[in-house]
Chain A
Amino acid sequence: AQSVTQLGSHVSVSEGALVLLRCNYSSSVPPYLFWYVQYPNQGLQLLLKYTSAATLVKGINGFEAEFKKSETSFHLTKPSAHMSDAAEYFCAANFGNEKLTFGTGTRLTIIP
């Protein structure tokens, strides 16, 4: 079955440290992939998306993600965490049916 898995429901990093949020998909055909961020009491905001044009995708707020077909992964990274990055992050996939399948989310905490 087609699915999206986010490893780690909670991730804590120190301010200034590398942020790495993991996302893997299960599908025989690579899907379109998305990362969304949800700040407290807000809706989901698109961070970036993979459209097959390039495997390294740059998004807003200094985030980027790399698509690796061999690992069926689309991990989100940011070189240096900022306090304002504290939020919940969702990975999602469009498996070709014009609907999104979401992972269960990763809550990112930034330690001062």
Chain B
Amino acid sequence: DADVTQTPRNRITKTGKRIMLECSQTKGHDRMYWYRQDPGLGLRLIYYSFDVKDINKGEISDGYSVSRQAQAKFSLSLESAIPNQTALYFCATSGLAGGVDTQYFGPGTRLTVL
């Protein structure tokens, strides 16, 4: 079984709709992250959480919110989706490996906003 899972894997929605992307992990890590990937732009950090009570904005948090329901679960919400939020979204967790904080990624959610 995958260590980091994301649901749904694909989603098509309409402008103005609220949508939630979910992430679960079995790695036992405290730190979790949400990124979006756009062609030619690499991955950009939306939100991150270093533990259940700690939520931080990343470089592109406008239009997004998150919820850390438990150590293993970190959800990303788009309150009112717009077309330029069409992207590939990745969840990641991180923990020490070889003395270095190392991130591990889920399979991604492809979101299309019409």
Interface of chain A residues 28 through 67 with chain B (CB within 8 A): 32, 34, 36, 42-46, 49, 51, 53
Contact between chains at A46 and B106 (CB < 8 Å): no
Number of interface residues of A (CB under 8 A): 22
**B100 interfacial by beta-carbon distance below 8 Å:** yes
**Which of A11-19, A71-79, A98-106 lies at the binding interface?**
A98-106
Q: Inside 8 A of B104's CB, which chain A residues have their CB?
A: 46
Q: How far is the CA of A36 from the CA of B42 in the complex (A)?
A: 11
Q: How far is the CA of A51 from the CA of B102 in the complex (A)?
A: 10
Contact between chains at A98 and B105 (CB < 8 Å): no
Q: How far is the CA of A90 from the CA of B39 in the complex (A)?
A: 12
**B114 interfacial by beta-carbon distance below 8 Å:** no
Interface of B is mostly: strand
Interface of A is mostly: strand
Q: Tally the A-B contacts, defined by beta carbons under 8 Å.
A: 54
Contact between chains at A102 and B94 (CB < 8 Å): no
Contact between chains at A51 and B108 (CB < 8 Å): no
Q: How far is the CA of A94 from the CA of B98 in the complex (A)?
A: 15
Of A32, A53, A92, A99, the most chain B CB neighbours within 10 A belong to: A99
Interface of chain B residues 59 through 114 with chain A (CB within 8 A): 90, 92, 94, 98-108
B38-52 to A contact mask, C-beta < 8 Å, 1/0: 001111110010100
Contact between chains at A43 and B42 (CB < 8 Å): no
Q: How far is the CA of A43 from the CA of B99 in the complex (A)?
A: 24
Interface residues of A (CB under 8 A from B): 9, 32, 34, 36, 42-46, 49, 51, 53, 90, 92, 94, 98-100, 102-105
Interface residues of B (CB under 8 A from A): 4, 31, 33, 40-45, 48, 50, 58, 90, 92, 94, 98-108
Q: List 30 A-B pairs, Cβ < 8 Å.
A: A9-B40, A32-B101, A42-B107, A42-B108, A43-B105, A43-B106, A43-B108, A44-B43, A44-B90, A44-B92, A44-B105, A45-B105, A46-B104, A49-B98, A49-B102, A53-B98, A90-B42, A92-B43, A94-B101, A98-B31, A98-B94, A98-B101, A99-B45, A99-B58, A100-B45, A103-B42, A104-B41, A104-B42, A105-B40, A105-B42
